[in-house]
Amino acid sequence: MVLSEAEDLKRYSFEIGAIRPPSEGGSYSLLIRATRNCPWSKCKFCYGTPYNREKFQMRPVEEIKEDIQSVKHIADGITVIAEKLGGMDWAGKVIDPLFLYEKDYGELNENESSNLQSLVNVYNWLYSGGRTVFLQDANSLIMRPSELIEVVRYLKETFPSIERVTSYARSKTLSKRSLEDLKAIRRSGLLRLHVGLESGDDDVLRYVNKGVTAEEQVLGGIKAKEAGFELSEYIMPGLGGKKMSEQHARNTASVLNEIDPDFVRSRPYTPNPLTPLFEEWTSGNFELLSPHGYLREIKMMVEDLKFNGRLCFDHAMNFWRGRDGRPLFRMDYSGYKFPEEKDEVLDLIEEGLKIEESRHVQRIEYLM
């Protein structure tokens, strides 16, 4: 009954990048690749490894629009199948490699894998209401403002159900963009930005080759907020190692207080074996914090935090355990409201510090 529609679905694919924020995965955002890879790729803790250190590329607007049209074809096809079969749950059974290609997933060729990934992304997006979109890869704001605006508008025209469009952005890029351009981008429909602050300490930023200063972090964040974006700033406890732990904590809090973001999201530093900082750690030139050391650093930062947003521990990298063996902090995307729940966070840190360090296990494969 749906063989022709299913066969038609196999004709369409679109590019999907490597990563997106967990909160965008939780909402099953549609993933549209506006640029490829990271334009910096020099940070010692990351080093562009999520993108296999591939060269950064700007994608032509027409190419991005073609991807959006592919999404439209897939979405229309899935909708027809759902209507014929009696609902999206039944349509989901069609998005299966055995049904589509008569193969197990591991037997798919590159084109079939790309097609299936595209179908799954669109299906999940439609199933969740088709409301959110994430623009990949690492820094969509580096696009010419007029081109980024054109892409966002085309997205919203093609899919009127879209309520939120989100992107990663670098502080450096935001600091250089005019407020007028940022406001125009915001008006086009790009609502939320995720920024990797990592640290507000200039010594730490220089040490890890972040390519931005604390002053630029503040300027970029303030501009984003003034332009009307909802702003998530990501921090990296432990990035300064033992040597710079306190200044990392105190100065990061200071920068966050000046920016006053909507969300601060914790991503504790964990060595990645393909990066320069991993080599420094294994050679003894970088001292990793202990589980309690991380908590003491976060405590210093939280004590100094005076912002009106939410502090979130929404990733498994926040590995600490409470007395009951469960995660010490709530791991939802909304986190703890500041200043109202600041004392609760400090109390939880004290609880974590009373627990034997061996119970706080970093669940990262390459540290086992």
- State mean pLDDT over 254-259: 98
Residue 102 lies in a domain: no
Q: Which residues contact 258 (CB under 8 A, 6 or more apart)?
A: 218, 221, 222
Give the pLDDT score at 65: 98
In a domain, 124, yes or no: no
Query: Cα torsion for 63, 65, 67, 68, to the nearest 10°?
Result: 170
User: Is the pLDDT at 3 greater than 90, yes or no?
Assistant: no
| pLDDT, the chain, mean | 95
Question: pLDDT band for position 361 (50/70/90)?
Answer: confident
In a domain, 31, yes or no: no
Is 329 inside a domain boundary?
A: yes
Residue 79 confidence (pLDDT): 96
- Check which CATH number belongs to the domain holding 250 and give it: 3.30.750.200
Portion of the chain with pLDDT greater than 90, in percent: 94
Residue 127 resides in a domain? no
Count up the domains in the chain and report the number. 1
Q: What is the tens place of the pLDDT at every residue in 296-325?
A: 999 999 999 999 999 999 999 999 999 999
Segments of 177-236 assigned E as strands: 190-198, 230-235
User: How long is the chain?
Assistant: 368
- Name the pTM for this structure: 0.94
Identity (one letter) of the amino acid at 128?
A: S
Residue 201: predicted pLDDT: 98
Domain containing residue 185: 170-367
pLDDT in tens, 91-148: 999 999 999 999 998 999 999 999 999 999 999 999 999 999 999 999 999 999 999 9
